[in-house]
Amino acid sequence: MATYEDVINLALRRSFFYPASEVYNGPSGFYNYGPYGASVKRKVVELWRKLLVQKEGFFEINGAIAMPEEVFKASGHMTNFNDPVTKCKKCGVFHRADHLLKEKTGEDYKEAMNNEVLTEALRKHKVACPKCKGELSDVSKLNMMVKVEVGVTPKNIFLRPETCQTIFTDFSRMIKTMRLKLPQGISQVGKSFRNEISPRQTILRTVEFDQMETEVFFDSQKIDEVENWQDVENYKVCVQLVGKDKVEQISCNDLHKKKIVSGKLIAYYLARTQQLYEAYGFKKENIRFRQLDDEERAFYAKEGWDFEVKTSIGWLELIANNYRTDYDLGNHAKGSKQDMQYVYPDGKKVLPHVWEISIGVDRTLYAVLENSLTTLNDKVVLGLPTSLAPLHAAIFPLVSNKEEITKKAKEVQKTIEYFDVFYDDSGSIGKRYARMDEVGVPYCITIDHQSVEDNTVTIRDRDTTEQKRVNLKDLQKIMHELIFVGKKFSEV
């Protein structure tokens, strides 16, 4: 199994991701994605859009990152969105107090603990600055909102710490202009910013990051009315209940009947979400919805499940799933003095409740890379699902100095230009295969002397290294079956 270091080595070597403003030794907590990384990341988003957003009939909006202070006063972020920090009295560097304590003691210190408890623990365990061994200050709270200075506007403006605030503030407009009917999911993918005190683990904890979030608005009285319930009722969701040390597979029916979830709607979306991650290539034994206990849940959440996948660095949280009730709409209705109720045709009004599926895109990308990374015959192979591969195929003229082979290779490229293909004529075929295997390209198409004579090419499969010779006139159809229909190489 690949380790965290394996992933980072590959990422830096082939520029999947790397520190932003690297040549200027940029600030920590910001990452850029190179051509392969940006492509896989985009495909992670596209599969989400296809399987979770469009298939479920959700609306997808795209809002500004910068929002005025009023939004975050109403949402509670201005007062509640704080990290417990301690500053080194010697070198001046800030640290997360709870993280230092976790590392030192192995015990489970939480960011929500109050300043005095954390300060006392720092003293008791004799925690010093990890950088310079200097003495640490008392713990205080630091707000995680990132403020922006926008010239001449009189308003205080912040970069949103979660994309969902756009969804809540736009909800009443969606009611008025989109003929919205409950239940209705509204989704958004985009940037969020958090003032992380100690960004670390590359793309796993950054200041600037991407989220793909959905808020499903529903009538809490109708939480058990789910149109496509029959699609999931026997589907088993991997859950780890509070107090249990094992993951169990429980059907949606049982989640509902045993009242493990607040209603069918929640079981339904747990299932849909898990199915997305199965499509990302994760096996059921490596995923879990971890039920949150009262202490871990945000105070407004009636029910919460962290979706996690097993990685080389332990279970990694990729999604926060929360039953936020009417907390957000209620606060924004009050803060903005707007009516955010949904009105039924008979005039009955209801302030919708919300089920949130808040996915970290960068973390999902990391997990996808680690889950796909393997070695075959001592060579690195990134076995990405075809739908997430950065390119569909590479096109290799066997040699670059024979005009008729080059010409045929260009003809092949033209034939399948509808797909994402890459033309490469430099180095031995073995080296070219290895370069493509390493970045996850599923198929390599080679044009050789025989191709010129009989109009055939060979297709090589990344995962088996098996090769097939096919007629050029069938190539488009075969590629279509492999890439879009999802057929296996052995089946075409």
Q: Which of residues 73-92 bind its own copies (CB under 8 A)?
A: 85
Nearest approach, Cβ of 262 to its own copies (angstroms)?
A: 28
CA-CA distances (angstroms) from residue 178 to 121, 127, 214, 329?
53, 55, 17, 18
Q: Please, which residue, 33 or 268, has the CB nearer to its own copies?
A: 33
Is residue 360 a contact point for its own copies (CB under 8 A)? no
Q: Which is nearer to its own copies, 87 or 353 (CB)?
A: 87
Chain positions 154 to 183 lying near its own copies, rule: CB under 8 A, are: 155, 157, 159, 166, 169-170, 172-174, 177-179
Q: How far apart are CA 186 and CA 437, in angstroms?
A: 38
Contact pick of 106, 107, 126, 151 for its own copies (by CB under 8 A)? 151
Number of C-alpha atoms within 13 angstroms, CB side, residue 177?
A: 6
Residue closest to 409 by CA, chosen among 435, 444, 460: 444
**CB nearer its own copies, residue 147 or residue 487:** 147
User: Residue ranges of the alpha helices (H) in 69-113?
Assistant: 69-75, 77-80, 97-105
Residue 420 touches its own copies, criterion: CB under 8 A: yes
Using CB under 8 A, pick the residue from 2, 8, 14, 214 that binds its own copies: 14
One of 379, 423, 469, 471 touching its own copies (CB under 8 A): 423
Looking at 22-30, 304-312, 377-385, 440-448, which segment touches its own copies (CB under 8 A)? 22-30
User: Whole-angstrom Cα distance, residue 280 to residue 369?
Assistant: 10
Question: What is the distance between the alpha carbons of residues 450 and 434, in angstroms, rounded to a whole number?
Answer: 23
Instruction: Report the nearest approach of its own copies to the CB of residue 259 (Å).
Output: 31
* 3 state SS of 57: coil
Closest to its own copies by CB, 231 vs 296, is 231
Alpha-carbon distance values, 290 to 72, 239, 311, 321 (Å): 28, 6, 15, 10
What b/e string do you get for 20-30 counting C-beta neighbours within 10 Å, with b at 16 or more?
beeeeeeebbb
Residue located via tokens 């009242």:
259
User: Using the rule CB under 8 A, is 330 a contact of its own copies?
Assistant: no
| Three-class secondary structure assignment of 199-217 | CECHHHECCEEEEEEEEEE
Cβ nearer to its own copies, comparing 17 with 289: 17
Tell whether residue 229 is a contact of its own copies (CB under 8 A): no
**Cα Rg for the chain, rounded, in angstroms?**
26
> Tokens at residue 384, please?
């990405």
Structure tokens at 293: 């206990």
- The nearer residue to its own copies, 172 or 273, going by C-beta atoms, is 172
The interface with its own copies within residues 187-226 (CB under 8 A) comprises 191, 193, 195-197, 207-208
Work out the angle at residue 417's Cα, subtended by the Cα atoms of residues 401 and 280, and round it to the nearest 5 degrees: 115
By CB under 8 A, the residues from 40 to 79 that bind its own copies are: 41-42, 54-55, 57, 59-68, 70-71
Q: Give the β-pairing of 66-68 and 157-159.
A: antiparallel
Q: How far is CA 354 from the centre of its chain?
A: 20
Pick between residue 230 and residue 490 the one whose CB is nearest to its own copies.
230
Q: What part of residues 248-307 is at the interface with its own copies (CB under 8 A)?
A: none
List the interface residues with its own copies, window 424-463 (CB under 8 A): 426
Q: Using alpha carbons only, give the angle 227, 486, 456 rounded to the nearest 5 degrees.
A: 160
Residue 400 in the binding site for its own copies (CB under 8 A):
no
Stretch that binds its own copies, among 297-305, 308-316, 350-358, 422-430 (CB under 8 A): 422-430
Q: What is the DSSP letter of 52?
A: I
**How far does CA 153 lie from the centroid of its chain?**
34
Q: Which is nearer to its own copies, 28 or 286 (CB)?
A: 28
Rounded to the nearest whole angstrom, what is the least distance from the CB of residue 113 to its own copies in the complex?
20
Residue 173 CB, nearest approach to its own copies (Å): 6
User: Closest Cα partner for 306 from 259, 363, 253?
Assistant: 363
Residue 360 phi/psi, 5-degree rounding, is: -85, 115
Indicate the residue among 335 and 383 with the shorter CB distance to its own copies.
335
Choose the stretch contacting its own copies; rule: CB under 8 A; options: 305-313, 315-323, 414-422, 450-458.
Answer: 414-422
Minimum CB separation from its own copies for residue 13, in Å?
Answer: 7
Stretch that binds its own copies, among 21-29, 239-247, 276-284, 296-304 (CB under 8 A): 21-29
